[in-house]
Each structure stands twice: as structure tokens, then as C-alpha cells.
């Protein structure tokens, strides 16, 4: 009895110790999705493993480095078991139907040699990329030989090209599309009889200007030894229900790893999301405490090796860099991702291919030699339901599904956009605007706002006209009153108070009076700087959503002191220091007044621009930026004329002085950073010495 208790305690201790080791491989309690700001936001898991299938569980021996999986229209599953030179056929539930490891070809027994790809058409005929035999084999669903297509022949195919078909797909007219090893020209298109028709789609050649220059100046012998500028070959493809080709290339750091080709070979993939469909956007984990979790490691860019199309315009790409599946809608918005590196059933060691089984997904792992069937969670199912309902024009169903999604994940921007689209179709424009704003989608927000603006103007036209006429009357009355009474500001006389406005339109006379007639005041210049700070704070906070790209929780009013006051003071000090050595006649206070007065157009333009920005659509935004550009040019013109007048320089010398002032400013900033760094190092050294002394005492 005592011995049994001791054994039980030892077993319990071992289990307890292994429990502490588990977190590095345990499944985190959430996945993630990317927000508009490129941040990885927590999100529920869209898919979880439902069933694992291995060759041993099927009773046919281990899979041996399988390379492809395909789900037919009847949801039968076909696996290219490459190392075992066979095709394994399963039913939807993962039960074995048959194994095809040979066939009768012209009266003799034949077989496969490392088949890398498999496809099944609408008639359930099986196409196999018999890679190392350099051919495509067509079989009936029972495994009876139908045809074999050897290496294609054409004048446009390089003479030294060795044909190794890797992946393939067949359209409704039985045209065969082949991804072959070394086919840099694009995807090979064959007709129903296997004859070569041409290439579809080509990746552009990527090279650096330095490489091109070096190749131009090198000798012929050096050029021959250099690496050729070749486009990247495709790694896999799939056809959607309309016959368009989705293709992926496994190039590292590719800007467009996923493409959609029309019959002319043009890439027509929609990239209207926050980020192009390219997998992981950020390389920063969600939480520093979770950096050991395999699902949260983001090291380097994604690298897609397979793609599968889905209902409702959705498509999913398999990232071999971090072993994840990324699913996008037809606009290129990232809907969800799942997977990761690990041995857990929801992770992979080396996923190589994916296939859709209705709403479920099959993922083939050729490192672990297993096929995993994933089923959607409630979160994933709701997203899919919303996407398909919106795709088919069922706005109310889409809105209901998106509302449920937001209850599960309030950080999901795409759900807000989906809700906005649903309300937009129902002409609930104001409500749609709020959803689009929450989803940070300016395109659809602008459309909703355009409709809402028309609605408001139509319904309140009389009131708007009365308010406009009243405002004009008040402006005229105020101007008349000002002209008659000529009120004075409490700290300056009327002439001095009008000087900045006079300078706006007559800069030569205005700055001359500022310097030689004493009409300039430092306190007015500083007041203008203060007004600009307040205006910029208001602009960042309250500019219209269409033109406001500031992140609300990162806005800090103190930043304006850094971005306005510091450059203002640094410019004044640098210009005064420089012009003192270049026979400039301007005093420091005159430089301060000149720069301050030159900033007045920014204040006068930015203030009404805030109101204007809240009344425009995305199509009208260029007028907003035009006004901003005019204000900036006006400021630079006043600054140039003011400094030329104050220092009594020529045009050329003024331009040279401004350029040198910028150089001096950069030098002062560099010195400041250097001194700050030295102080930090000295402080750290003193602290370390003090710590060492305390330790020894």
C-alpha cells in the first residue's frame, strides 16, 4: 500500500512539473487581427481542429512527405502522398475510400514518381502532377487511366527547360493550368489535349538600382557570373467560381504575394483593405508576456505557398513562414487568421497545402505527415455568414450577423464596416456614417456623408439660407463698426495691431515698417505663435474624419509645443547666429517678429479649414489640401520677404541664408542629441560605480 502511494505521488509530481513546461506550447486564449493602425488586436479563434488524419489511422501506413490536398465538389478529399507515390482518396468524414498507387497504361503497369499535385474536376476525373515523370496523368475517379500529357512543346519555351509540373488546376472548358518548377514566365496554360497555349500572368522582375548599375559597368565575364534578374515563379494556384486564377508566389518580402488574373493575364485583385493581402502586417507580439506563445511570434514577412478560394468571394492563403492561414474577403480585408508553429493540434510543423470542405478547412502538414480538419467556431461561422449574406445582397441578414460578431469582438473594424454597408443599403445614412467612422473606412463614410448632406440640405434649405444671410449681415456690421470706432487692443495701438494684417498683402512695406518705423511687437508675434498652437491642437482633434488620420488615443497637446515652439525658437536662434556673421542687419527681436508675423496666414487659413473639413467628402478633399498648400506657400513667401527686408539682403543671399539656417538647425539638433547621449552614459557610469562601491562596502 505504501509503495503504491509513493508511486502515485511520484507520478503526480511528474505531471505537476510537466504542467509548468506546458505554457510554451499551450494554445493562447485568443488569436488576433489587425486594426486600421496596424496593431495586432486580440480576437476569438475562427477555426479549431476537429479531426486529425494520418496514414496509420487509415490503416495504409505512414504518409511520406505529402505535398498536396484537394477537396472535390462532392467533398471527397484527395491527398498527393508524394513520398509513397500514391493518391489517397477519403470521404468528407476522413474515412478511406481508395488508394491509387498504379494504373494500366497502354497494356502495361505504370505508376507515379513523386506526385506533387492533385486536382479533381466537375466530372470527378483526377488530374495528377506526376512531377518526376515530367507529365500530367488523367484518371477516372476509380483510378482508371484516361490520358497522359508530357512536356509541352513551343517556340517560346526555353530549349533547356526541364518540365517538372508541381501544382495544377482545370477550368470548366478543361484547360489545364500548371505551376512548373523553373517556369519564370508565368503559369503554363494547356488545352484539353495537353497542348501548350501560352503563359498566364508573370511576376515582375525585382532588382535594386545598385545591382543594375553594377551590371551595366561590368565586363562580359563578370556579367555572366552574376545572378540573373529573373521573375519569381509561382508556388500554387486556384480558380474561383467565375474562372479567375488566384496565384501565390513564395517570394520573401513580396509586395504582392497574392494575385488574381483575368483571361488577359492582368492582376485584378482588389486591395481596398487597410493593408494589401500579404499576411502579417506587424512584427510585434500582442503582449510582451506572451512572446513565448507560438501563435504570437511575428518574425519577418509572410511567405505564401498555397491559396484556396471560397464562397462569397473569400480566399485563404497559407503562410509557410509562421504556419498560419489568412482569410480575406473580395475587397482584400483580412477577416481572420489561425494556426501557428507548434505540435498542438491547432498548430503545424510544416503546412504545405489547404483545401475547403464547405465551411471546414483541411490543412496538410508534411512534417508531421498528417491532415487536420478544422471546423469554424461560432465567431468564424458568423463572419462567414455575414460575408456571404452581403455578397448575395441580403443586407438585413448581414447586419444581424455582424452585430453578433461585434458582441464577440468589439475591436473588429471589418464588422463595423459591414454594419455600415448594411445600413447604407437601407438608406440609414447617419447611422451608417457612425459605423464607417468606427471602422475607419473613409471611402464608404464619404458616400454615406454625401447622401446625408444632401438629405439635410434638402430638408433645411430655408434655415440654412437664413443663417447664411444673417452671418453675412453680422460680418458687414462688424466691419463697419470696426472702421468707425477703430478699437484698440489693450496692449497695443490700432496701427500696431493692424500691422500683421497689413503685412499679409503688402509684405515689403509691412516688414519695412516693422523694422524702421517701429510698428512691430514681439508680444504680437508670440501671440500669433500661441494662436497657431491652439489652432493646430483644434485641427488635430476636430478636423473632419475624411481628412483626419490622427489616432485619437495618441493625440497630445504638448506635442504642438515640440513641433511649433521648438522649431520656431531654433530657427530664430540659428538665423540670428548665422546672419550675425554674414553682415545681416536684423536683430534677434526683429527676426522673432518676422517669423511670428509670417505665421499669421497659417492661423487665418487653418481655423476656417477645420469647419470646412467637416463639410466635405473624399472627392472634395483635394480642395482641403489645396487650401493648406496655399497657406504654406503664403507663409514661406512672407518669411522670405521678411528676412530679406530685415537683413537687407539680396534675393540670392536670402535664399542662401535660409538654406544655411536649416543646416545650422540640423547641426544644433545633432549636438543636442550627442550631449544628451553623453549625459546618459555618464549618469549610467556614475550609477554603476556607486552600485559597485555599495556592494563592496
State the DSSP code for 341.
B
Three-state SS for 239-276 is ECCCCCEEEECCCCCCCCCEEEECCCCCECCCCCCCCC
Is the per-residue pLDDT at 505 higher than 80?
A: yes
At 624 the pLDDT is 93
CA dist 603 and 386 (Å) reads 47
**Mean pLDDT, residues 549-571:** 82
Is the per-residue pLDDT at 88 higher than 90?
A: yes
- The answer to which of 302-311, 602-611, 684-693 has the lowest mean pLDDT is 684-693
At 218 the pLDDT is 58
At 212 the pLDDT is 53
Tell me which CATH code domain 399-481 carries: 1.25.40
**Mean pLDDT, residues 434-449:** 92
CB atoms within 10 A of CB 31: 28
User: What CATH class is the domain 45-282+293-376?
Assistant: mainly beta
pLDDT band at 583 (very low <50, low <70, confident <90, very high): confident
CA 677 to chain centre: 35
pLDDT band at 48 (very low <50, low <70, confident <90, very high): very high
pLDDT band at 309 (very low <50, low <70, confident <90, very high): very high
- What is the chain's mean pLDDT, rounded? 84
Residues 363-401: b if buried by 16+ CB within 10 A, e if exposed: bbbbebbbbbbbbbbebbbbbbbbbbbbeeebbebbbbb
The sign one gets for the Cα dihedral 671, 674, 676, 679 is negative
What are the structural domain ranges in the chain?
Answer: 45-282+293-376, 399-481, 486-678
Q: pLDDT for 255-295, tens place per residue?
A: 788 999 988 888 999 998 888 898 888 654 444 334 334 34
Q: pLDDT for 339-384, tens place per residue?
A: 998 888 899 999 999 999 999 999 999 999 999 999 999 999 999 9
Specify the length of the chain in residues.
Answer: 697
At 527 the pLDDT is 92
Is the per-residue pLDDT at 10 higher than 90?
A: no
- The answer to which of 222-236, 467-481, 516-530, 547-561 has the lowest mean pLDDT is 222-236
Instruction: Determine the number of helices (DSSP H) and then strands (DSSP E) in the chain.
Output: 19, 27
At 39 the pLDDT is 85
Query: By percentage, how much of the chain surpasses pLDDT 70?
Result: 85
CA dist 528 and 539 (Å) reads 16
User: Dihedral of the CA atoms 631, 637, 640, 641 (nearest 10)?
Assistant: -130
Q: How far is CA 367 from CA 62, 156, 513, 520, in A?
A: 12, 37, 82, 78
Answer yes or no: are the C-beta atoms of 502 and 491 closer than 8 Å: no
At 2 the pLDDT is 45
Is the per-residue pLDDT at 190 higher than 60?
A: yes
Amino acid at each position: 500500500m505504501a509503495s503504491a502511494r509513493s508511486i502515485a505521488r511520484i507520478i503526480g509530481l511528474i505531471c505537476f512539473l510537466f504542467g509548468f513546461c506546458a505554457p510554451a506550447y499551450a494554445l493562447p486564449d485568443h488569436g488576433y487581427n489587425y486594426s486600421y493602425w496596424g496593431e495586432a488586436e486580440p480576437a476569438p479563434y475562427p477555426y479549431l481542429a476537429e479531426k486529425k488524419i494520418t496514414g496509420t489511422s487509415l490503416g495504409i501506413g505512414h504518409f511520406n512527405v505529402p505535398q498536396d490536398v484537394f477537396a472535390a465538389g462532392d467533398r471527397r478529399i484527395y491527398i498527393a502522398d508524394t513520398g509513397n507515390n500514391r493518391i489517397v482518396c477519403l470521404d468528407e468524414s476522413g474515412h478511406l475510400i481508395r488508394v491509387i498507387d498504379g494504373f494500366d497504361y497502354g497494356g502495361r503497369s505504370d505508376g507515379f514518381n513523386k506526385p506533387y499535385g492533385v486536382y479533381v474536376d466537375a466530372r470527378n476525373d483526377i488530374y495528377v502532377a506526376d512531377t518526376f515523370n515530367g507529365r500530367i496523368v488523367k484518371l477516372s475517379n476509380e483510378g482508371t487511366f484516361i490520358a497522359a500529357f508530357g512536356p509541352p512543346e513551343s517556340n517560346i519555351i526555353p530549349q533547356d527547360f526541364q518540365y517538372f509540373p508541381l501544382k495544377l488546376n482545370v477550368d470548366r472548358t478543361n484547360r489545364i493550368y500548371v505551376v512548373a518548377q523553373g517556369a519564370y514566365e508565368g503559369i503554363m496554360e494547356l488545352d484539353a489535349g495537353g497542348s501548350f497555349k501560352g503563359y498566364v500572368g508573370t511576376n515582375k522582375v525585382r532588382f535594386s538600382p545598385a545591382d543594375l548599375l553594377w551590371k551595366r559597368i561590368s565586363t562580359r565575364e563578370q556579367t555572366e557570373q552574376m545572378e540573373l534578374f529573373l521573375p519569381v515563379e509561382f508556388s500554387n494556384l486556384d480558380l474561383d467560381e467565375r474562372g479567375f486564377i488566384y496565384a501565390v508566389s513564395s517570394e520573401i518580402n513580396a509586395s504582392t504575394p497574392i494575385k488574381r488574373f483575368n483571361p488577359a493575364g492582368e492582376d485584378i485583385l482588389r486591395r481596398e483593405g487597410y493593408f494589401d493581402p500579404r499576411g502579417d502586417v506587424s512584427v510585434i507580439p500582442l503582449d510582451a508576456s506572451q512572446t513565448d506563445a507560438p501563435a504570437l511570434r511575428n518574425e519577418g514577412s509572410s511567405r505564401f505557398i498555397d491559396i484556396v478560394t471560397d464562397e462569397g468571394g473569400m480566399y485563404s492563403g497559407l503562410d509557410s513562414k509562421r504556419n498560419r492561414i489568412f482569410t480575406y474577403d473580395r475587397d482584400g480585408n483580412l477577416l481572420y487568421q489561425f494556426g501557428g508553429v507548434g505540435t498542438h493540434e491547432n498548430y503545424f510543423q510544416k503546412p504545405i497545402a489547404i483545401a475547403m470542405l464547405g465551411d471546414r478547412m483541411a490543412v496538410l502538414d508534411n512534417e508531421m505527415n498528417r491532415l487536420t480538419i478544422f471546423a469554424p467556431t461560432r465567431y468564424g461561422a458568423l463572419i462567414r455568414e455575414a460575408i456571404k449574406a452581403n455578397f448575395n445582397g441580403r443586407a438585413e441578414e448581414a447586419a444581424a450577423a455582424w452585430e453578433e460578431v461585434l458582441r464577440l469582438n468589439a475591436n473588429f473594424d471589418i464588422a463595423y464596416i459591414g454594419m455600415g454597408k448594411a445600413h447604407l443599403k437601407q438608406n440609414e445614412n447617419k447611422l451608417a456614417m457612425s459605423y464607417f467612422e468606427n471602422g475607419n473606412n473613409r471611402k464608404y463614410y464619404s458616400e454615406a456623408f454625401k447622401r446625408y448632406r444632401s438629405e439635410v440640405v434638402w430638408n433645411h434649405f430655408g434655415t440654412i439660407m437664413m443663417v447664411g444671410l444673417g452671418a453675412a449681415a453680422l460680418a458687414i456690421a462688424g466691419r463697419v463698426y470696426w472702421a468707425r470706432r477703430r478699437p484698440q487692443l489693450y496692449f497695443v495701438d490700432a496701427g500696431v495691431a493692424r500691422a500683421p494684417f497689413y503685412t499679409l498683402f503688402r509684405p515689403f512695406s509691412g516688414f519695412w515698417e516693422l523694422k524702421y518705423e517701429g510698428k512691430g511687437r514681439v508680444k504680437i508675434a508670440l501671440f500669433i505663435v500661441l494662436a497657431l498652437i491652439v489652432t493646430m491642437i483644434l485641427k488635430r482633434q476636430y478636423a473632419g474624419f475624411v481628412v483626419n488620420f490622427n489616432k485619437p488615443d495618441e493625440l497630445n497637446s504638448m506635442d504642438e509645443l515640440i513641433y511649433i515652439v521648438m522649431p520656431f525658437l531654433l530657427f530664430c536662434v540659428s538665423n540670428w547666429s548665422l546672419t550675425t556673421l554674414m553682415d545681416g542687419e536684423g536683430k534677434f527681436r526683429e527676426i522673432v517678429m518676422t517669423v511670428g508675423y509670417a505665421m499669421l496666414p497659417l492661423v487665418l487659413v487653418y481655423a476656417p479649414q477645420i469647419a470646412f473639413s467637416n463639410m466635405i467628402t473624399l472627392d472634395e478633399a483635394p480642395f482641403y489640401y489645396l487650401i493648406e498648400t496655399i497657406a504654406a506657400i503664403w507663409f514661406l513667401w512672407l518669411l522670405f520677404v521678411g528676412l530679406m527686408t530685415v537683413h537687407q539682403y539680396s534675393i540670392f543671399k536670402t535664399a542662401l541664408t535660409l538654406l544655411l539656417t536649416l543646416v545650422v538647425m540640423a547641426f544644433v539638433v545633432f549636438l543636442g542629441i550627442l550631449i544628451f547621449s553623453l549625459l546618459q552614459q555618464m549618469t549610467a557610469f556614475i550609477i554603476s560605480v556607486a552600485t559597485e562601491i555599495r556592494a563592496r562596502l
